[in-house]
Amino acid sequence: MRYLIFGTGDYYNRYKKWFEHHEVLALLDNSVQKQHTAIDGLKVLSPEEGIRLNYDRIVILSFYIKQMKQQLISLGVDQSRIYHFYDLHQLFETDRIKRPMRYFLNAKEIVECTKNGVPKVLLLSNDLALGGPSIALFHAAKVLIKQGYTVVYTSMLDGPLRQKLLEYDIPVIVDENLQISTMQETNWVNSFSLLICNTLNFHVFLSERDTTIPVIWWLHDSAFFYHGVKPSVLRSIDRKNMTICSVGSVPAEAIHNFIPDLPIDRLIYGVEDTVSCIDGKKNVLWKQGTKLCFVTIGYIENRKGQDVLINSIQLLPSEIRDMVEFYLVGPNSSVMAQNIMEQAKEITGIVITGEVNREQINEILSRADMLICPSREDPMPTVCAEAMMHGVPCMVSDVTGTADYIEDGISGFVFPSENAQRLKEKIMWCVVNCENLCKIGENARKVYEKNFSTSVFERKLLQMIENAL
């Protein structure tokens, strides 16, 4: 079988290993900068060039499944020859290479130990990055350990969160086979009393499951993530002994597009309180001449909408722009990030930091006057809860889950998604009315305490686990 792989970014790096023993003719990418270069010894071509080769299948290894599939079809590619990363289980069903598992701390001993009366809980994560879902599951692990449960945290991919887990003596397993294996094929999970599966990525894993083991499926995903999901696979999941919950209305609405009558509970993550008091020092400093500090935190990519923020900054009058500074914090390896960095060179008052650790994020938030979340899709960005914990008001697009909890102009700000003009107006209001930001920040803190505190999260999580067991 001869393959073309469409996409050379994060998803390519995540899934490329499964093609090591298969014939890949070339990589396809829409980036002109990447075309006619080589990655992993493979030529990078434009889609137009690639489809002229004698291939059997094109596999999309990218987050933008819908757009890239439509592009290929418009170029004359037969739909039956187009696959994507959710299809890898099907593609390699007969010739799959099993990858070795990696155990950290006493994880292997826990797996091999017979149940001894203490419930063993397996937390399954999409990755060990420092993103919202994996951090939320980390907080869940700490709650369960405090309650006396035996806990193991497992992931499809390794990442920086592993070190943080080990610092808390939480055993970790990295099992890349979870990317394309079902629960029936993953025998080692049978030794656990309960599985908590994090994100939509586990729908293939759950499509063939042992229904005697209780499962909590915790959804964090918006509609965008469902573009490559086969409705038949999603609907085939046996819901016996399974609790499905979501971090807010956005993931619930997304899955209800496939299964309208699906009962879904609500489990909003908790963020540990690291702030003892909110004192409004930032605004005192502003009155003394310090610039207002606006911050956006997250992967710099199309979904997160940092380009919308850049466009809104360009619309600001020069006298307003001189009064503020903007920090863009997060990994910046994407093509969009490169474009933004080029634009930012021409705009004063923009600082692009690159990726930072959790401690640095807390430090940045402690100095920020406003967090801006301009996402095109974002079910419940953890950083918004972290900001409100610091008493920092959030300015969010109306497609984020956080918007459901913000009263515009009272505890934060909400603007229409992708509307740079309206975002500009909100920023200008904050500058002109900066004396009000302290009170808005205090109200944001109350939103955190009511909805995103660890105490609220713990009560809900433990009740859900008690019901499941």
pLDDT digits (tens, 9 = 90+) for 166-213: 999 999 999 999 999 999 999 999 999 999 999 999 999 999 999 999
Give CATH superfamily name and number for 102-270+454-468: Glycogen Phosphorylase B; (3.40.50.2000)
Is the CB of residue 297 less than 8 Å from the CB of residue 330?
Answer: yes
Average pLDDT, the chain: 92
Q: What is the rounded CA–CA span in Å between residue 111 and residue 214?
A: 17
Q: What angle do CA 158, 131, 255 make, to 5 degrees?
A: 105
Q: What is the arithmetic mean of pLDDT over 290-297?
A: 92
Q: What is the rounded CA–CA span in Å between residue 187 and residue 6?
A: 33
Here the tokens at position 355 are 């990726």
284 has pLDDT over 50: no
H or E, element range at 265 = strand 265-266
| Percent of the chain topping pLDDT 90 | 76
Provide the CA 16 distance to its chain's centre, in angstroms: 20
Predicted confidence at residue 115, as pLDDT, reads 67
Check for a shared fold between 102-270+454-468 and 281-451: yes
Predicted confidence at residue 159, as pLDDT, reads 94
Strand order of the β-sheet with 324-329 is 350-354, 324-329, 292-297, 370-373, 394-397, 413-415
Contacts of 450 (CB under 8 A, 6+ apart): 456
Strand order of the β-sheet with 242-246 is 102-104, 172-174, 150-155, 120-125, 194-198, 215-219, 242-246, 265-266
pLDDT band at 267 (very low <50, low <70, confident <90, very high): very high
Pairing of strands 194-198, 172-174: unpaired
DSSP, collapsed to helix, strand or coil, labels residue 412 as strand
266 has pLDDT over 90: yes
Q: What is the rounded CA–CA span in Å between residue 297 and residue 399?
A: 17
Is the CB of residue 378 less than 8 Å from the CB of residue 303?
Answer: yes
Given the structure tokens 């080769």, which residue do they identify? 53
280 has pLDDT over 60: no
Domain boundaries, the chain: 2-91, 102-270+454-468, 281-451
* Phi and psi angles of residue 186, each rounded to the nearest 5 degrees, phi first: -110, 75
289 has pLDDT over 60: no
| More confidently predicted of 347 and 60 | 60
Given the structure tokens 């497609």, which residue do they identify? 399
- For the stretch 353-399, pLDDT in tens is 988 887 888 889 988 999 999 999 899 998 999 999 999 999 999 99
Predicted confidence at residue 66, as pLDDT, reads 92
Q: Please name the fold of domain 281-451.
A: Rossmann fold (3.40.50)
Strand order of the β-sheet with 2-6 is 38-39, 42-45, 23-28, 2-6, 57-60, 82-84
Q: Which of 49, 62, 59 is nearest to 82 (CA)?
A: 59
- For the stretch 395-442, pLDDT in tens is 999 999 999 999 999 999 999 999 999 999 999 999 999 999 999 999
Q: What is the rounded CA–CA span in Å between residue 376 and residue 324?
A: 24
Predicted confidence at residue 348, as pLDDT, reads 84
**The whole model's pTM is what?**
0.86
Give CATH superfamily name and number for 2-91: NAD(P)-binding Rossmann-like Domain (3.40.50.720)
| Percent of the chain topping pLDDT 70 | 97
223 has pLDDT over 90: no
| More confidently predicted of 235 and 346 | 235
